[in-house]
Amino acid sequence: MGADLTRTDLVLTWVGAGGVIAYTVYIHGQRSRSPLEARTLFLLYALGTLFLARGFYWLYDGPWLETLRFVPTTLLPLAATLFVEGLRRRHASPALKTFVAAGTLLFFGWNLLGLVLVQRGPFFRAFSVFALLTLAWLGWMLLARRRADLSPMENRFTDALTAVVACSLLLFATDFGLRPDWLPFRLGSLGGLLFVYACVRLSDAGDAGMRVLREFLGIGLRAVLVTASLLWLTREPSLEYGLALLAISTGFVLLFTIMGRLRALRIEQRDTSFSRWFLHADTSSLESFVESLRSLAVAEQHLILHGRDLDGYEEAPIVAQFDTEHPVWTVSALRSKVASQGGDLAGAEQLVELLESHQMSHAALLSERPVMLVLLHLPEVAGTSNPLLEIAVIQKCARLLHSRGTAHA
């Protein structure tokens, strides 16, 4: 049974590490350089390093790993205090600051000096009291905060996060030996995943209080269904086995939910990146606007064809291919049109030849007189975003700029 419980702790620890690392990587890819972001990253660094070090400790169990896994652990109360200060936009009380700073220095030094190796019991018990008191104090600070210091949306998010902190505190307590006899493994990793989930899922919530309840109920229901299915397949009646499966199932459901949400946020970020580019694009002339395409993600691989680039091609049939219904053509759609033998095929065939010869996938008309085409290389399937709409906007803006330039001339 000891081996089984060690495996349960190991799986939960690595699942927790996966969730924390995924969120940390996402933040580094979308840096805003805000003070709260820096404090959040410090907390994530401490959590992620703790889970990784503890995961290796469970695998190899060496004296140096014993000391290493307590290094980020001793920094967690300090990291949590800084995070709560940033969340409240107010400094913590001098009493809490002194308590946390003194405790962090004491236990960090105690661990590095190696006293934990010869007197692990006293160190662990003392640090457990320090860490749990700090987390409880921080929870009370969130509950008793001045709501006027924050916006309504920030207050809703903080309310939801306070509920998560309370739940996480109970789960982290199991890491310090405060758990009933029928729960022989640690659940602190689930507490870390809940914190990450709240930050990822509820940062833009309009009704965070109700949403956190609905989301947690949904996660719990999915975890119970997975556990029930596994119990039915294995037909293992042990209570400890069932609890271990429930804990692991909850961890994986949380991890996959976090990963799915981060993926959705990256797609949203990609969509909004076009708006930011369009806002800063140079629209003083068609030429300057075309030059701005170099900094657009969707046009990373593009080619502008005009003038002598189109020698040997009939421009009129090419221009006739583009209308309101087809501001942008893909090479696959053009091939289908040619194969169907419908309409004016001369322009479609020439566009196919242009796209294939330059190994591009999309074409749009930027101006008619003189003819200017933009060719792009984009995947045919681009997730939930639609690059065709972005290209169509570029095409329309370019044609308006060309018309304005012609009128001024």
* CB-based burial label for 124 (10 Å; 0-12, 13-18, 19+): middle
Measured between alpha carbons, how far is 138 from 166 in angstroms, rounded to an integer? Answer: 10
- pLDDT recorded at residue 119: 53
Determine the Cα–Cα distance for residues 100 and 78; give it in Å rounded to an integer. Answer: 6
Contact call for residues 194 and 212 (beta carbons, < 8 A): no
- The per-residue pLDDT for 1 is 38
Domain limits, the chain: 2-271, 281-408
Instruction: Tell the residue number behind the tokens 């934990």, with chain if given.
Output: 116
Please answer whether residues 269 and 389 qualify as being in contact, where contact means their C-beta atoms are separated by less than 8 angstroms.
Answer: no
pLDDT profile of the chain (409 residues), mean per 10: 62 93 88 79 92 83 72 91 87 91 91 62 84 89 82 74 83 82 85 88 58 77 89 79 89 92 76 72 83 75 84 86 82 82 77 87 84 78 56 82 67
Give pTM, 2 decimals: 0.66
Which tokens belong to 402? Answer: 């060309």
At 381 the pLDDT is 41
Distance, CA of 251 to chain centre: 17
Instruction: Report CA-CA distances (Å) from 47 to 18, 40, 301.
Output: 11, 11, 40
Q: Maximum Cα–Cα distance for the chain, whole Å? A: 87
Cβ-Cβ contacts under 8 Å for 84 (sequence gap 6 or more): 92, 138, 141, 142
Fold of 2-271: Rhopdopsin 7-helix transmembrane proteins (1.20.1070)
Q: Encoding tokens for residue 211? A: 């949403």
Residue 143, by phi and psi: left (phi above 0), alpha (psi -120 to 50) or beta?
A: alpha
Dist CA 85 CA 219 (whole Å): 29
- The verdict on whether omega for the bond into residue 370 sits within 30 degrees of 0, i.e. cis, is yes
